[in-house]
Amino acid sequence: MIRIENLSFAYKRAGKSHQVFEHLDIAFKPGINVILGPNGAGKSTLLKAIFGILDYKGNVFLQETPLATMALEEKISQIAYLPQMDIEQSSLTVLEMVLLGRLPELQRKVRSEDIAYAMKSMAQLNISELASRPFTALSGGQKKLVFIAQTLVRDSDIVLLDEPINALDLKRQLELCQLLRSKVQEKPITMIIVLHDINLAVRFADHLVVLRENGTLYAVGSPKEVMTERMIEDVYGVIARVSCDEDGVPVVSPLSSFAQ
Ligand X SMILES: Nc1ncnc2c1ncn2[C@@H]1O[C@H](COP(=O)(O)OP(=O)(O)OP(=O)(O)O)[C@@H](O)[C@H]1O
* Binding-site ranges for ligand X (CB under 6 A): 11, 13, 18, 20, 37, 39-45
What is the smallest separation between the CB atom of 167 and ligand X, expressed in angstroms? 14
Gap between the Cα atoms of 13 and 127, Å rounded = 40
Beta carbon nearer to ligand X, 43 or 144? 43
98 burial type by CB count under 10 A (0-12 exposed, 13-18 middle, 19+ buried): buried
Beta carbon nearer to ligand X, 56 or 135? 56
112 burial type by CB count under 10 A (0-12 exposed, 13-18 middle, 19+ buried): exposed
What is the smallest separation between the CB atom of 182 and ligand X, expressed in angstroms? 27
Neighbours of 147 (CB within 10 A): 20
Residue pair 223/205 in contact (Cβ under 8 Å)? The answer is: yes
What is the smallest separation between the CB atom of 84 and ligand X, expressed in angstroms? 6
Beta carbon nearer to ligand X, 140 or 188? 140
Q: Which of 26, 33, 5 is nearest to 190 (CA)?
A: 33
* DSSP H or E stretch at residue 251: strand 250-257
Beta carbon nearer to ligand X, 54 or 148? 54
Alpha helical stretches, state H, 17-133: 43-51, 72-78, 94-99, 112-124
What is the smallest separation between the CB atom of 14 and ligand X, expressed in angstroms? 9
97 backbone dihedrals φ, ψ, rounded to 5°: -60, -45
What is the smallest separation between the CB atom of 35 and ligand X, expressed in angstroms? 8
Beta carbon nearer to ligand X, 40 or 188? 40
What is the smallest separation between the CB atom of 188 and ligand X, expressed in angstroms? 26
Beta carbon nearer to ligand X, 114 or 163? 163
